[in-house]
Amino acid sequence: MPAPIESPEPATAPATLHANLHNPNEGMLEFDMGALSIDPDSRSFDAQDSIAPDDEDEDPLATKLSLAREFHAIGDTDGARALVKEVIAEADGAVKARAERFLAELS
């Protein structure tokens, strides 16, 4: 006659299961919802400041050059090249020189 089949031990003791039913958040990560804000003026970090130098804040061609750099960063080299060529055609001075150097990097 074959030996009786024994059922395996439960992974969690019944007392633990009973305790978790009374405290379902036990073992959960705590998250402070009060630290969140949807007010854009309350942020302490201005992402635009980290992307563009101060002289680019007012120059649309410098902004377009920054956008071209972002296109290149995400892998859209053709889009970046097209924007840089527009900047070169319209800009002068330091912005044009930066655009020409960037176009050389793209080629």
pLDDT at 88: 96
Domains and CATH numbers, the chain: 49-106 (1.20.58.2200)
Average pLDDT, the chain: 75
Which of 33, 15, 31 is CA-nearest to residue 23?
15
pLDDT at 69 over 70: yes
State mean pLDDT over 11-37. Answer: 62
- The lowest-confidence range among 2-11, 32-41, 44-53, 79-88 is 44-53
Predicted confidence band of residue 107 (pLDDT cuts 50, 70, 90): confident
- The lowest-confidence range among 10-24, 43-57, 88-102 is 43-57
Residue 41 CB-half CA count within 13 A: 0
Other CB atoms within a 10 A radius of the CB of residue 74 amount to 9
